[in-house]
Amino acid sequence: MPEYSWPPMNKRAVMGKPFDRLDGPVKASGRAKYSSDLNKPGQLFGMFLHSPHAHAKVKSIDISAAKAMEGVTAIRVIAEPGAELQWAGQEVAVVSAVREEIANDAIRAIKVEYEVLPHVVREELLAKVGSRAKAAGEQVTGDPDKAFKDADAVSEGEYGCPVITHCCLEPHGNVVQWQGDTINLWPSTQAVSTIGGDLAKQMQLPATNVKVQMDHVGGGFGSKFPSDKWGSEGAHLSKASGGRPVKIYLDRANELTIAGTRPSAYAKIKMGASKDGTITAWQSESWASGGLGGGGMPPIPYVFTKIANFRLNHTAVSLNAGPARAWRAPNHPQASFLTCSALEDLSAKLKMDPWDLFHKNMDMSPRPEVYRKQLVKAAELMDWKKKWHPRGSETGNIRRGLGLGMATWGGAGHASKCKVTINPDGSIEVEIGSQDIGTGTRTCITQVAAETFGLPMSAVKVKLGDNAFPASGPSGGSTTIGGVSSSTRKAAVNALEKLFERVAPGLNVAADQLEAVDNKIQQKGNPAKGLTWKQACQKLGVDKISELGENDQRAAAKEGLNTSGAAGIQMAEVEVDIETGIVRMRKMVAVQDCGLVVNPKTASSQVYGACIMSICSALMEERVMDRMTGKVLNPDMEFYKLAGIGDIGEIVVHMDITPENDKRGIIGLGEPCAIGGLAAIANATANALGVRVPMVPLTPDRVLAALSMNRRNA
Amino acid sequence: MQNFEFANPATLNEALGLLGSQWGEADVLAGGTDLLSLMKEYLHSPKRVVNIKNIKELGGIAKSGTGLRIGATVTLDELASNALVRQMYPSLAQAALEVSSPQLRNMGTVGGDLCQRPRCWYFRRGNGLLGQDENGKSLVTTGENKYHAIFGSGPALFVSASSFGPALVALGAKVTLVSASGKRDVPMSEFFVSPKSNGEREIALKPNEILTQIMIPAAGTNATYEVRHREAVDWPLTSASVNLTMAGGVVKSAVVVMGHVAATPWRASQAEQMLTGKKIDAALAERAGEAAVANATPLSENGYKVQLAKVAVKRAILKAAGLTV
């Protein structure tokens, strides 16, 4: 059995070093080609006709005028007469044409008669959704009624976060060509190795007949796994147009309307505690919607899973709105927000510093020691104990506040295969059916291979983004870094062993006594007895060595190359102008649990980006549904607001890179860092104002309403 | 967008000959930051687009008597960085800088700012200028109106999108509107109008006219304050511009105009009266802010804008007076 384990932390030359992203220059200069940049010879443009109604039945559809237009190559009806459309924006028909504007004109020439049906598009008031509510069964543990009766302090609150969208910079879509029995797909996807099979199934082709290629993807965040209608309908259009490639991408409005959302989450939460701050009881009535399918209960109580007495009720609300898709840490930001907000309110009731309350109750979490350590570190970086003040003690028009939020995640590596080739000229090629979704996957794979061969980064060429390469899992669940690093490591070790076998006889050293370090193959610890890497590879003659490596999820835990379990604490400091209700970020601190970190720069970039996403969702982002027309009113980057550079404040990222954590192997961290920030900012605002703003985003109208309610109550 | 004819005239006369007598025949293109999106959304489908960026006489900033003449195609960036503008009309330079996207400042023009269409999301989603359903019922009053008007009796409930409107009204500026048959100078206070039907426009410009220049007279001490949710590019929630004529530390006369609160820039005469004859301090500015919004008529979801308009007025006054905001 070859020795796959990671080299000791202090012996690594390439892994663990903060290399810049290899794809940075091409992306920053605009030379990187995303699939949406491609223009294939003979390419056609595809475009959907979308439903103008939130809920309607198609009575009739007439495509004759569109079909007769010059330049239109194919039209397909997706919603035949009788079909029920369940959200505005749902696909009704699709057209391909030689030019984009002709496709657009053709779409407008299709005549559809609809029978408009009643719609429900808003869920923030559960009492108003009528029959769209579907309650799940009650869950009870312990004796919550008695626990509340016995509690020294009981706090109650109502909290909510709306549906938000993924806002991918590169919208959903693809270029696709169906010629003969083969489909070529150039997608924008998080799943290079599986999207082809997904499309093949719908087209009733063998999976081997769909070739997938993609160099870069302009954001996915969980919304780009399936082949989708742009894949299947685009392929049909291509076939119907004599096999010409079809480019079909959503425009911004449709991107924000139908290409995926994060479900909402609302809850009335009651918590009980004893005088010393020990949490004794939890009760929640939550509701959520992710579109027509309703919305599941976020995992609440979050992190504090061992509260002795609790009662949970949840209602899923079905809406006539674009469907949900996985959104960076599905349901966790919502759960963290609901739970940590309720905890902050409980601490205010107890007149306790929430830091103390969280710290005291960490035994109710699965990893008490880790969280306590993180709380201490985050407090140090935020200067929490010096800055914190009780709720409502701030005066003046500009008020500052501190808040905190927590996260937990898995992050074990996905199934991944990789092929590593050593060429006689000494060059190294890594082929892997993975994708770099902007996280630095290319760079990290290069580091792992270079480390294993004792070579510089420049000696390794990584090829990914092609389903002809050994299959690797989709990039979801923070599983990529663990999966691809482990398979690359194993393939590289396997290839290196073969090289050792070839050069061992000439060096008169047993193959298992060789090592690859500093551009050399040498007897372990003896630089005098060895060959340069080039000399060693020349011994291959005309042969090359190609070896596979696999991360098998069942064996991974035993092998120890990757594992799971990532905790995290985030803190926020905000400044609120109480005359305008505008909340400004001053500082965020993110203390991020991790395992072995392949590249601290790309890893901490994940955390910075996640903090910014949290700021957006805490202060600005919401999909505004119009109760009258049933449409999204802000499917644009104008009123669907995201933070700009001036809205972000200072962000301090602390990666918990330690020898103990390093021993755990690699753990994905793209998602855990995107969880706690929302709660931290909401809590910081409550601390600043002296009153809870129940709903996020914390827009001026909501902040001013909470302040005026507070004044009335006082 | 619909196909259209593109005209690239070199002179104003040539351009005027290319305009139509009805809306929909021709649209004037300058920076294009609004027109192109209107065309892509099929909200404007002109038969002809007349580019005026190559007409030299429409550019430039120059002294004119005791005031300034600003050409219609001057970009927001040129305006914000012009020394005369900064010195004489800080309210205008501040308003230009608050358009916080360098791309918009580089492309957008002063004339375009005044002629841009409202950002009302019902209008932009195809429900007409007044935001109505197919039966003529207002979607704004029953629907989502957090960004809509808090002044005015309707039926127009959008807010004027112009960043310069409030400052130019406060400064007593005039615009020159030229057609093939002549030209007229229109006071800024009459340039913005509240349309009564979907077929009307929210400005006094006629389809056969081009806005060529803005004439600003000498002004008193002036300032603009904008309340914006984002630091990054964003529309103001409310804004206010003030122009104070001072005599011996006392306000001799005042013009106070609020922005983004009505279909037109909205003059706050009660606030003006309150300031006149007094020395400005924080308490007076506060009272003037309150007076400015005393007659506000907010909709179901925009009551908060009353507070924001009050704050904008207060802070614009303090800023003009050189006091801490």
Q: What's residue A677's pLDDT?
A: 98
A646 near B CB under 8 A: yes
Contact assessment for residue A382 and residue A667, using Cβ atoms and an 8 Å cutoff? no
Q: Is the ipTM of this complex over 0.90?
A: yes
Q: What's residue A1's pLDDT?
A: 74
Q: What's residue A556's pLDDT?
A: 87
B229 near A CB under 8 A: yes
Q: A346-409+564-713 has which CATH code?
A: 3.30.365.10
The minimal CB distance from B304 to the residues A108, A581, A631 is found for A581
A28's tokens: 């920053």
Among A387, A413, A410, smallest CA distance to A399 is for A387
Residue length of chain A: 714
Q: What's residue A159's pLDDT?
A: 98
Q: Averaged over A105-116, what is the pLDDT?
A: 98
Average pLDDT along chain A: 97
Inter-chain touch B308–A580, beta carbons under 8 Å: yes
- The residue extents of the domains of chain A are 9-32+412-559, 35-118+172-249, 346-409+564-713
Q: Bridge-partner residues for A311, per DSSP? A: A140, A283
Find the helix or strand (DSSP H, E) in which A68 lies: none
Distance from A91 to chain B by nearest Cα, in Å? 18
pLDDT tens digits, A286-299: 999 999 999 999 99
Domains A9-32+412-559 and A35-118+172-249 fall in the same CATH topology? no
Inter-chain touch B121–A634, beta carbons under 8 Å: yes
Percentage above 90 pLDDT, chain A: 98
Q: What's residue A713's pLDDT?
A: 85
Q: What's residue A212's pLDDT?
A: 98
Q: Averaged over B242-264, what is the pLDDT?
A: 97
Among B118, B239, B137, B299, smallest CA distance to A639 is for B118
Q: Averaged over B190-215, what is the pLDDT?
A: 97
Question: Which of A638, A699, A703, A708 should be substituted to probe chain B, the one whose Cβ sees the most B Cβ atoms within 10 Å?
Answer: A638
Contacts of B121 in chain A (CB under 8 A): 624, 633-634, 639
Whole-number Å distance between alpha carbons of A56 and A114: 6
**Torsion of the alpha carbons at A117, A121, A123 and A128, rounded to the nearest 10:** -40
Q: What's residue A244's pLDDT?
A: 98
* Residue in A closest to B122 by C-alpha: A633
A571's tokens: 């803190």
Among B52, B46, B44, B47, smallest CA distance to B16 is for B52
3-state SS string for A101-153: HHHHHHHHHCEEEEEECCCCCCCCCHHHCHHHEEECCCEEECCHHHHHHHCCE
Close Cβ partners of A428 (under 8 Å, ≥ 6 residues apart):
A420, A421, A422, A449, A450, A453, A455, A459, A460, A461
A477's tokens: 């669940």
Contact assessment for residue A282 and residue A301, using Cβ atoms and an 8 Å cutoff? yes
Interface of A with B in 577-616 (CB under 8 A): 579-582, 584
Whole-number Å distance between alpha carbons of B309 and B325: 15
Q: Whole-prediction pTM value?
A: 0.97
B38 near A CB under 8 A: no
Contacts of B42 in chain A (CB under 8 A): 108
Close Cβ partners of A200 (under 8 Å, ≥ 6 residues apart):
A183, A206, A207, A208, A209, A210
| Angle made by CA atoms A453, A454, A459, in degrees to the nearest 5 | 70
Inter-chain touch B304–A639, beta carbons under 8 Å: no
Contact assessment for residue A320 and residue A121, using Cβ atoms and an 8 Å cutoff? yes
Q: Beta strand pairing status for A566-577 and A520-523?
A: unpaired
Catalogue the E-assigned strands of A437-518. 460-463, 514-517
Q: Bridge-partner residues for A49, per DSSP? A: A93
Inter-chain touch A645–B3, beta carbons under 8 Å: no
B125 near A CB under 8 A: yes
Q: Bridge-partner residues for A198, per DSSP? A: none
Question: Which of B134, B144, B286, B300 should be substituted to probe chain A, the one whose Cβ sees the most A Cβ atoms within 10 Å?
Answer: B144
Interface of A with B in 76-135 (CB under 8 A): 101, 104, 108
The minimal CB distance from A700 to the residues B231, B235, B304 is found for B304
Distance from A535 to chain B by nearest Cα, in Å? 55
Inter-chain touch A643–B133, beta carbons under 8 Å: no
Q: What's residue A86's pLDDT?
A: 98
Distance from A646 to chain B by nearest Cα, in Å? 5
Q: Averaged over A414-440, what is the pLDDT?
A: 97
Distance from B91 to chain A by nearest Cα, in Å? 20
Residue B255 has pLDDT above 90, yes or no: yes
Whole-number Å distance between alpha carbons of B296 and B148: 12
Q: What's residue A524's pLDDT?
A: 96
The minimal CB distance from A704 to the residues B139, B143, B307 is found for B307
Domains of chain B by start residue, with CATH: 56-116+161-216 (3.30.465.10), 221-320 (3.30.390.50)
Place of tokens 């103008």: A52
Inter-chain touch A629–B127, beta carbons under 8 Å: yes
Regarding the domain delimited by A9-32+412-559, which CATH topology (the fold level of the hierarchy) does it fall under?
A: Aldehyde Oxidoreductase; domain 4 (3.30.365)
Contacts of A645 in chain B (CB under 8 A): 231-232
Residue A392's pLDDT band (cuts 50, 70, 90): confident
Inter-chain touch B230–A626, beta carbons under 8 Å: no
A375 near B CB under 8 A: no
Regarding the domain delimited by A35-118+172-249, which CATH topology (the fold level of the hierarchy) does it fall under?
A: Aldehyde Oxidoreductase; domain 3 (3.90.1170)
Q: Averaged over B265-284, what is the pLDDT?
A: 98
The minimal CB distance from B144 to the residues A101, A582, A633 is found for A633
pLDDT tens digits, A518-552: 999 999 999 999 999 999 999 999 999 999 999 99
Whole-number Å distance between alpha carbons of B322 and B71: 30
Close Cβ partners of A526 (under 8 Å, ≥ 6 residues apart):
none
B302 near A CB under 8 A: yes
Contact assessment for residue A598 and residue A448, using Cβ atoms and an 8 Å cutoff? yes
Inter-chain touch A631–B308, beta carbons under 8 Å: no
Whole-number Å distance between alpha carbons of A429 and A436: 17
Residue length of chain B: 325
* Residue in A closest to B286 by C-alpha: A579
Q: What's residue B100's pLDDT?
A: 86
The minimal CB distance from B230 to the residues A580, A631, A647 is found for A647
Q: How far is CA A421 from CA A91, A495, A518, A531, in A?
A: 45, 7, 19, 19
Whole-number Å distance between alpha carbons of B308 and B290: 11
Does A714 or B280 have the greater pLDDT score? B280
Residue A558's pLDDT band (cuts 50, 70, 90): confident
* Residue in A closest to B234 by C-alpha: A638
